Amino acid sequence: MGKSYFGIFKMEFKGELQYRAKAISGIATQFFWGLLQIYLYSAFMKSDTINGLTIAQMTSYIWLGQAFFAMRYIVMGKRIGTEITNGNVCYKFVRPINIYNQWYAEGIGQKLASTLLRFLPIIIIAVLLPENLNLHAPTSFVAFVLFFLGLILGLLMSHAISMFAVFLTFKTLSEKGSIGIVSSISNLLSGLIIPLPLLPESIQNVLNYLPFRFISDLPFRLYIGNVGINEGLIYLAIGFAWLIVLILLGKFLINTALKKAVIQGG
Amino acid sequence: MASIIDFTGICKNFKVPERNTGRFSMFKNFFMRKHKIINALKNVTFSIEEGDIVGYIGPNGAGKSTTIKIMSGILTPSSGTCIIDGLVPWQNRKNFVKNIGVVFGQRSQLWWDVPVIDSFELLKDIYKIPNEQFKETLEILNKSLNLSELLGRPLRQLSLGQKMKCELAGSLLHRPKILFLDEPTIGLDAVTKLAVRDFIKYINQTWHTTIILTTHDMSDIEALTNKIILIGKGQILYQGSFDNIKNKYSSIKTIEIEFAKEYDSIELEGYETIEHNKKFATLKNLPTTEFHTKNFVNQISEKYEIVDFQVTSLGVDEILAKLYKEYKL
């Protein structure tokens, strides 16, 4: 059963690995964007800390965010949108496997491959940068393990949320519009636009419990030690609970949409 | 032989937004959207026997693809019952699709960026095909379609004909009982078309696969099918052997003639001149005239000096057009 989904995952992974130029330009963008953000927020931070976050922690947070940008971003998957709008999706129906799971596996494969192609060069450069601009080591080994768990949760969560854009595409037949709605909500609330630790505490108190911050905020805060080990474990548990809820909800919505789907033309 | 596909009283209605044209209509449509119901299939009933090759024909928009989509479990009909191999396609979809293969001639089911063999391996996992069977099947497909050179290359590098061969192979890896082919020869060159046709025949004979194909290509129908189902405007117009229809209309011939010199007009008793351009003309025999090559040559040689001529029977489109006239559609 799981073998076929893993096969789909592998296929997308392999496909994505072929696009080296795309990865190189991605690395360059992420690198300059990271520097820009660090300069920008350093200039805004009057004192050395903001909400208990030091400048060193902030730079690490930003570099990690840039290094793992490909998995934080909301994308449906390379072909899903066109597949739905041009009707190629009909081939998904004639396979003896679950349609949501197929798409989910595809998306995860693509995201993981593009992340793996990009993260290492950015991490290496960020570590080698001069003081005040560089990426620091994790606070402890346990923190690093939790960071890693958080990354896996983040990858799974980001695509569980992306799947709502797939649902909207089914309803509206507009790939760009659907991605636009889901990604603008998700990017703002997940800390992709403004790092969450820089927001007022009252807002953070709400966002900490919404599913979005698990995409990118939590793993990086675990790394820099801004969220402690015990607290982190509780958050990870909340995150995985959200993941299950969102996947079940996504499955339900997509199944109802599929029942009403009409595939037109030859 | 037992019937494997039973279609009884299938109707399919689509609800589409109605667009008015004219001034302010865009604005009006934005706020008040009217819908109209389109009946794509009206009370469609037919049955197909195991091991048959059935040609499903009709003009564009007749409801061919809709029927194929209902048969393959992609669409749910508005009413009616459909039993295929003992199952209802749109209930328990996963179980049903294990036994069918589908090729939509204008779409692709294989992965674009990776070598074809990788796609096949994935299909093997998806359909849970045992190793031994997979190897054996691939061997057979390889031999009859000449795939060996193509398997290692990514799909995007293949030509249309090569792609179609791979699509066909991909749809047969799990040895489905029923194969749906939606315009499998569209856009193919003559050689590939023949290869694809031979292959379809071969599969039907070796595995006793029931094959339903839609096409606009008369020669596909002639070469492959032993039964046709003709659909027009959502209704079944005819089902039965193709020869019956052909015999009915084959008495009407189109004759293209090349003359030795230019004539002002071509007139021949019992024939109708459809086109005349200097040395060339196209004639058609009237329904009252029975065409005999010898008689025709004698008759025309008396009046005109001819160099060459060619006789063709009515094409499928003309036959269809005649049929529609007959059914007042």
Whole-number pLDDT of residue B132: 94
Say which of A6, A91, A96 has its CB closest to residue B98: A96
Selected for mutation to probe chain B from A90, A110, A254, A259 (highest B CB count within 10 Å) is: A90
- Residue A51, classed as helix, strand or coil, is coil
Is B257 a residue whose pLDDT tops 50?
yes
What's the ipTM?
A: 0.77
Q: Determine contact: B98 vs chain A, CB below 8 A.
A: yes
**Which tokens go with B219?**
């020669």
| Stretch A115-142: mean pLDDT | 90
Chains A, B: CB contacts within 8 A come to 78
Q: Are B199 and B107 in a shared domain?
A: yes
Q: Indicate the residue of B73, B119, B183 with minimum beta-carbon distance to A93.
A: B73
Does any domain span residue B318? no
Query: CA-CA distance, A102 to B97, in Å (whole number)?
Result: 15
Query: Which residues 39-68 of B are in CB contact (within 8 Å) with A?
Result: 60, 65
**Does residue B104 sit within a domain?**
yes
d(CA B104, CA B100) in angstroms, rounded, equals: 13
Give the pLDDT band (50/70/90) at residue B305.
Answer: confident
Q: Is residue A180 part of a domain?
A: yes
Q: From the candidates A89, A91, A173, A256, which should be mutated to test the interface with B, based on the most B CB atoms within 10 A? A: A91
B86 domain residue, yes or no: yes
Could you say which of B247, B274, B297 is where a domain stops?
B247
C-beta of residue A263 within 8 angstroms of C-beta of residue A89: yes
Q: How far apart are CA A63 and CA A71, in angstroms?
A: 14
By Cβ distance, the residue of A8, A93, A262 closest to B122 is A8
Q: How close are the terminal C-alpha atoms of chain B, in Å?
A: 34
Residue B272's DSSP bridge partners are B284
Same domain, B152 and B268: no
Name the 3-class secondary structure at A75.
Answer: coil
Residue of B nearest to A9 (CA): B122
Residue B320 domain flag: no
Whether chain A has a CB inside 8 Å of the CB on B215: the answer is: no
d(CA A15, nearest CA chain B) in Å: 5
Q: Does B35 touch chain A (CB under 8 A)?
A: no
The predicted-structure confidence for A221-245, as pLDDT tens digits, reads as follows 999 988 889 999 999 999 999 999 9
- What's the CA gap between B47 and B61, in Å, rounded? 22
Does A14 lie at the interface with B, CB-CB under 8 angstroms?
yes
Contact, B144 vs B168, CB < 8 A?
no
Element (H, E) at A175: helix A175-189
A162/B29: higher pLDDT: A162
* Same domain? B154 vs B262: no
Residues of chain A contacting residue B100, judged by C-beta atoms under 8 Å apart: 94
Range of the domain at A143: 2-260
Kindly state whether B182 is in contact with chain A, defined as any CB-CB distance less than 8 angstroms: yes
Structure tokens at B222: 């002639």
B184 and B297 in a single domain? The answer is: no
- The CATH number for B65's domain is 3.40.50.300
**Nearest 10 degrees: CA dihedral of A217, A223, A227, A233?**
90
Mean pLDDT of chain A: 87
Residues B206 and B164 in one domain: yes
CB contact under 8 A, A7 and B127: no
Contact of B125 with A4, CB cutoff 8 Å: yes
Residues 6+ apart with CB under 8 A from A38: A58, A59, A62, A133
Residues of A in contact with B107 (CB under 8 A): 87-88, 90-91
In this complex, do B111 and A11 lie within 8 Å of one another by their Cβ atoms?
Answer: yes
Is A97 contained in some domain? yes
CA-nearest of A178, A219, A213, A220 to A75 is A178
Exposure of B142 by Cβ count < 10 A (0-12 exposed, 13-18 middle, 19+ buried)? middle
Q: Which residues pair with A161 in a beta bridge?
A: none
pLDDT over 70 at B329, yes or no: no
A96 touching chain B per CB within 8 A: yes
A91 touches chain B (CB under 8 A): yes
Residue A266 lies in a domain: no
DSSP-assigned letter for residue B180: E
Q: Does residue B133 register a pLDDT over 90?
A: yes
The answer to whether residues B294 and B188 belong to one domain is no
Encoded tokens for A210? 């919404």
Together in a domain, B240 and B210: yes
Number of folded domains in chain A? Answer: 1
φ, ψ (nearest 5 deg) of residue B232:
-150, 130
Distance CA A113, CA A71 (A): 9
Domain contains A147: yes
B295 shares a domain with B175: no
Beta strands in B61-187 (DSSP E): 79-84, 100-104, 178-182
Residue B138: which pLDDT band, with cuts at 50, 70 and 90?
very high
Nearest to A13 by CA among B56, B8, B122: B122
pLDDT-based confidence at residue A61 (cuts at 50, 70, 90):
very high
**Domain hosting residue B257, numbered range:** 253-313
Q: Tell me the C-alpha distance between A209 and A207, whole Å.
A: 5
Residues in CB range of A142: below 8 A, 6 or more apart: A229
Say whether both B151 and B181 belong to one domain. yes
Residue-level pLDDT at B171: 92
Residue B322 lies in a domain: no
In a domain, A185, yes or no: yes
Ramachandran angles phi, psi of B185, nearest 5°: -105, 10
Q: What is the pLDDT, as a whole number, of residue A263?
A: 56
Largest CA distance in chain A: 65
Please report, for residues B253, B255, B265, B287, B308, the alpha-carbon distance to residue B300 in angstroms, rounded to integers and kept in the order given: 15, 11, 13, 18, 12
Q: Strand locations in B183-226, DSSP E?
A: 210-214
Given CB atoms, is A87 within the 8 Å cutoff of chain B? Answer: yes
Give the pLDDT confidence of A142-164 residue by residue, as tens digits.
Answer: 999 999 999 999 999 999 999 99
Interface with chain B: mutation pick from A17, A83, A94, highest number of B CBs within 10 Å? A94
Q: Cα–Cα–Cα angle for A104, A109, A113, nearest 5°?
A: 150
Domain boundary at B191, B220, B247, which?
B247
Mind telling me how many Å the CA of A131 is from chain B's nearest CA? Answer: 43
Q: What is the DSSP string of B69-102?
A: HHHTTSS--SEEEEEETTB-TTSSHHHHHTTEEE
B85 has a chain A CB within 8 A of its CB: no
Residues in A touching B113 (Cβ below 8 Å): 14-15, 18
Residues B163 and B283 in one domain: no
**Are B156 and B192 in the same domain?**
yes
Residue B329 located in a structural domain? no
Within 8 A of A263 by CB-CB distance, chain B residues are 69, 74-75
B93 to chain A, closest Cα gap in Å: 7
User: How many structural domains comprise chain B?
Assistant: 2
Alpha-carbon distance B219 to B313, whole Å? 12
**Whether B101 contacts B179, CB under 8 Å:** yes
* pLDDT tens string B98-115: 999 999 877 888 888 888
Residue B184 domain flag: yes
B-chain CB neighbours of A97 within 8 Å are 94, 126
CB-nearest partner of A91 from B107, B122, B183: B107
- Is B323 part of any domain? no
Claim to verify: residue B34 and residue B93 sit in the same structural domain: yes
